[in-house]
Structure 1
């Protein structure tokens, strides 16, 4: 009570420090509230964990969906089947997805693994395989962008869906006459067709295209017998036209072979041999057996068609070669025409056409001229032709992107700025001469016309952009009309679109990675198959004699005690077609595969062993 003022201040200071060091007790909570707060913390942490799991699962499912759609697109549009598993493994490795892939013709078995929980999910991607070189190029671009981390699966998946939902570039009815042009183009350089034979080749090719593109997709039963039906119909009509005037007007063999050139199983044998060389035994064996049976169907169809017409007339032609063929210097134009038809049929983009035509033409030239020097040995000419195709296609795939990027750089850095300056000067000079301005001169637009232009909104926009385009310092940015008397350097610009110099220019994306060599060489390979058949001989040369065709006599083979005894001459049309196509396709595949450097290809000795095997198998 009687403390001095100094003591009072000291006591207050001590009290304040004690309050500052001593923590408060806080509010007293009940036991029920503490339990509820503990449960709320547990629930909150559980929700956070669930959110994390959902986000992780959503990302994983999105990447798996992208892999399935990519696989379906590659299979559907004709990607190299021997590299499908490699493409998918690379994509899964980049996306950090544990997956395994097993390819079987027509489907892909995908196993998604999760080592953290030891679970596996198996998916089956099944689709009808075809060839669409344009969509295949777009799909391959998306694949490269994802592999190089330029885009994510969130952007890649919608792009794949857009590609799959996009309509074909050419409708089936447009492709029907293209089939006719293709048959007419392949006849001269592959089967010695003459100029007079081309209209009939066009007609038979249109019939083939109509059967394959219009009739077969609408009826499953017809599609199952399409090969035999097409071969029977075309060979029947070919022999009918070839028998006119005793066979001196049209060439039977050229008509019969050129009409079925587009359905020869060369691509199937090519894919099968590539798969076998890549050690994909299951897929390669299945496809090879299918290609052999398919070629036998075509051969039997040709036999049936020719014999059926022989039943109708005794004067049916029996010539299996053409007389007075077209000069060989004209063959190159038909090779280019056939390649262009293949580009349209396979839905390729026009930007791919120059490289495809060049590769195809070079391959044919080498094959054709080498066949003259190595007569009687078709494997040598096929080897050289396929070697040139493989070299050029792979050079195009590896160097083409550098050429494209260099051209874009030159355009954007040098040519485009100069073009803009030249255009501005030209427009300024051109407008100044055509629209001379003198004082007292008016535009002659009345008030109603002026109001109409102002309502449309284009006149004021045109005037507002004039100063940027022609460098006029007197241009008006208002919405009113300016006469040349007031602004002599201005001319009316009604509804003028802004130039490229006014708008913001977005540089084009540069290409990365290698291109798809298979797409570039595919038309050239299609050209090589009939070219190789032309070197090896006629597809109908297996008919024993022309007399048997006219008399409808076919050979009968009897097998007893493991030996074959011929009860007459053997009619081997079916075996000739199968052997010729398989031998040519394997010879082409051997060296195209070797040059592509993906897997070590078979050697020429192994190709010869394949040929000997089929010769022994078919009793030649």
Structure 2
């Protein structure tokens, strides 16, 4: 049975089974010829016999010239498809005249129909097309993968800046990540800003990204970002999935609400009052509401852009006035209450980051931070001086013991226990307490195993700092270096052998050693000279002495941390970048 439709007889003879598709090459070099066929006469049609199918039998008729097609049973005209299928086959040129130049169809039965060379050319053309398509797909996928890697690097840099990552290691971290991801880039870090240039050596072009992001400490999110970074460089997750998780992490709300942060701030001020500023039990009690008030004002300043410019001066002025009013009753120590109430805004960590950046040869950002910390300390000293001066002018009473950092004038040895200076044994309670509340203030999760390590390492650092200070009195840089070495050594050992984040567990221990070096002997000397009516040059000179003390403490911390880092990572690692997540 023949197929319905147009059927060319020269392709559908009974002896030949022609397949549609790619022509089969001949086995040898002989030519394939077309079977003989009738040629077309443009003046008349030469009809051939047609086979009609209908009913239960078949009837053969031979229509002549001018005879219409025959009818089927029932008087219906037969379909034209059955009539036209056996008409003579021919080839037309564009002028309706058969020519030898008409492509594709030979005019004589001795002409070539298809040769092996033509088949090879067709195959080569298809192969070139397939290779070109494959190259286009590869280029598209390759470019898409490069863009995804670049987006991950930018998001990682933004996350580290947002969550308070180590600024002096940020450039090394980005370069190490780019080497693992096989990306050519160069970067430059400035405070709250990073420039990343993605280079394309094939085209000689570059794409520069400017990332501007302010930061604040968030230990839990910083640890989560570090885990994502670790998975990517060790091929445990794809760059695309890690980018999505970084987006979710940056949009995630804080771990603790505002009321919890206010409570943590009050407990930080109360717990450090006795161990670092020689405050009595009564001084610790009054420091709690002042610490809570500091967090309230800090949260308000974060929402008010204009007030944030004068936040430090106004807070220092207010707390100095309150501390002076309390000290006038002879039950409270002015220096202990004032210093413990502003302990969370002291510029110790700022100048520490500046010293670390200078030691890492990041000259621009390091110099900016050091200069800012000096001016910042003058802001605080100026605010404290205004508060105490305002109280003395209003009450017309002198304020004794403004520079009495040991509280020997207000604390009597024969007085009640709650007014005496506590002994060193109380440090076994207050040091772990301050470490705990400070870690929670920086959003450390209380459900993670790192929280006990934070408290233990911080306590270890304070012990080394305290007993070294007893052997080297007046040399805060040496005691800070020994304490920082102990903290850095234990933290980096934990990070190397337990695949943890050394920076997360050492930050509390480093911050613990800063308040005593910042407040004692510096800020309150500035306050006493300013309040006694000395010239501004002399008072500001004492303020710069505070800055020099800040620099000395930070240099000691930098040296101790650097030595501990070299001891743990003597050989540089390609993926760790020599401890890129360490201070």
Q: TM-score, normalised by structure 1?
A: 0.68
Q: What is the count of residue pairs matched by the alignment?
A: 450
Match of 1:258 among 331, 340, 356: 340
Question: How far did 1:164 drift?
Answer: 1.0
Structure 1 residue 537 corresponds to structure 2 residue 517? no
Structure 1 residue 592 corresponds to structure 2 residue 561? yes
Listed as ranges, the matches of 1:283-294 within 5 Å are 283-294=365-376
* Cα deviation code 1:277-316 (max 9, x no counterpart): 1111111111111111111111111111111111111224
Q: Tell me what 1:300 maps to.
A: 382
Structure 1 residue 142 corresponds to structure 2 residue 228? yes
Structure 1 residue 369 corresponds to structure 2 residue 490? no
Question: How far did 1:538 drift?
Answer: 6.0
Given that 1:378 and 1:532 are in contact with CA atoms closer than 8 Å, whether structure 2 keeps it comes out as yes
Match of 2:504 among 513, 519, 525: 519
CA distance in 1 between counterparts of 2:459 and 2:359 reads 27
Q: Tell me what 1:454 maps to.
A: none
Structure 1 residue 391 corresponds to structure 2 residue 360? no
Question: How far did 1:48 drift?
Answer: 4.5
Give the direction of change, closer, same or farther, for the CA distance of 1:56–1:25 in structure 2 (3 Å limit).
farther
Listed as ranges, the matches of 1:97-496 within 5 Å are 97-213=183-299, 215-244=300-329, 248-319=330-401, 320-321=403-404, 322=407, 323=411, 324-350=420-446, 351-399=449-497, 401=498
The residue matched to 1:343 in structure 2 has which SS?
A: helix
Question: How far did 1:31 drift?
Answer: 3.8
CA distance in 2 between counterparts of 1:101 and 1:598 reads 28
Match of 1:528 among 480, 501, 513: 513
* Cα deviation code 1:360-383 (max 9, x no counterpart): 111111211222222232233222
CA distance in 1 between counterparts of 2:153 and 2:184 reads 12
CA distance in 1 between counterparts of 2:255 and 2:103 reads 75
Match of 2:549 among 566, 580, 596: 580
Given that 1:179 and 1:208 are in contact with CA atoms closer than 8 Å, whether structure 2 keeps it comes out as yes
Give the direction of change, closer, same or farther, for the CA distance of 1:24–1:250 in structure 2 (3 Å limit).
same
CA distance in 2 between counterparts of 1:309 and 1:31 reads 108
CA distance in 2 between counterparts of 1:128 and 1:140 reads 19
Listed as ranges, the matches of 1:491-506 within 5 Å are none
Question: How far did 1:176 drift?
Answer: 1.3
Q: Tell me what 1:415 maps to.
A: none
Given that 1:300 and 1:573 are in contact with CA atoms closer than 8 Å, whether structure 2 keeps it comes out as no
Q: CA RMSD in A?
A: 2.9
* Cα deviation code 1:109-154 (max 9, x no counterpart): 1111111111111111111122111111111111111112222202
Listed as ranges, the matches of 1:66-81 within 5 Å are 66-81=152-167
Q: Which has the larger radius of gyration?
A: 2
Of Structure 1 and Structure 2, the greater helix share is in 1
* Cα deviation code 1:200-257 (max 9, x no counterpart): 10111111111112x101210001111111111111111111112xxx2111110111
Give the direction of change, closer, same or farther, for the CA distance of 1:113–1:360 in structure 2 (3 Å limit).
same
Q: Tell me what 2:56 maps to.
A: none
CA distance in 2 between counterparts of 1:375 and 1:78 reads 33
Given that 2:385 and 2:526 are in contact with CA atoms closer than 8 Å, whether structure 1 keeps it comes out as no
The residue matched to 2:202 in structure 1 has which SS?
A: coil
Question: How far did 1:334 drift?
Answer: 1.1
* Cα deviation code 1:512-554 (max 9, x no counterpart): xx432222111011110123347x5363134456xx73xx624
Given that 1:543 and 1:572 are in contact with CA atoms closer than 8 Å, whether structure 2 keeps it comes out as no
Q: Tell me what 1:431 maps to.
A: none
CA distance in 1 between counterparts of 2:308 and 2:27 reads 93
Q: Tell me what 1:5 maps to.
A: none
Structure 1 residue 88 corresponds to structure 2 residue 174? yes
Given that 2:164 and 2:215 are in contact with CA atoms closer than 8 Å, whether structure 1 keeps it comes out as yes
CA distance in 1 between counterparts of 2:34 and 2:469 reads 102
Structure 1 residue 555 corresponds to structure 2 residue 563? no
Give the direction of change, closer, same or farther, for the CA distance of 1:67–1:270 in structure 2 (3 Å limit).
same
Question: How far did 1:598 drift?
Answer: 9.1
The residue matched to 2:399 in structure 1 has which SS?
A: coil
CA distance in 1 between counterparts of 2:523 and 2:421 reads 17
Given that 2:492 and 2:568 are in contact with CA atoms closer than 8 Å, whether structure 1 keeps it comes out as no
Given that 1:544 and 1:571 are in contact with CA atoms closer than 8 Å, whether structure 2 keeps it comes out as no
* Cα deviation code 1:27-59 (max 9, x no counterpart): 999649999999999877655543332212111
Question: How far did 1:25 drift?
Answer: 4.6
CA distance in 1 between counterparts of 2:189 and 2:503 reads 19
Give the direction of change, closer, same or farther, for the CA distance of 1:131–1:32 in structure 2 (3 Å limit).
farther
The residue matched to 2:353 in structure 1 has which SS?
A: helix
* Cα deviation code 1:141-196 (max 9, x no counterpart): 11111112222202211121121121110123321121111011111001011001
The residue matched to 1:170 in structure 2 has which SS?
A: coil
The residue matched to 1:360 in structure 2 has which SS?
A: helix
Given that 2:312 and 2:380 are in contact with CA atoms closer than 8 Å, whether structure 1 keeps it comes out as yes
Give the direction of change, closer, same or farther, for the CA distance of 1:380–1:97 in structure 2 (3 Å limit).
closer
CA distance in 2 between counterparts of 1:125 and 1:79 reads 15
Question: How far did 1:332 drift?
Answer: 2.5
CA distance in 1 between counterparts of 2:464 and 2:104 reads 93
CA distance in 2 between counterparts of 1:584 and 1:269 reads 9
Give the direction of change, closer, same or farther, for the CA distance of 1:116–1:234 in structure 2 (3 Å limit).
same
Gaps of 5+ in 1: 1-18, 402-513, 558-568, 601-620
The residue matched to 1:537 in structure 2 has which SS?
A: helix
CA distance in 1 between counterparts of 2:127 and 2:102 reads 17
Higher RCO (C-alpha under 8 Å, 6+ residues apart):
1
The residue matched to 2:186 in structure 1 has which SS?
A: strand
* Cα deviation code 1:365-407 (max 9, x no counterpart): 12112222222322332222122112111122123x1xxxxxx
Question: How far did 1:346 drift?
Answer: 0.8
Structure 1 residue 24 corresponds to structure 2 residue 24? no
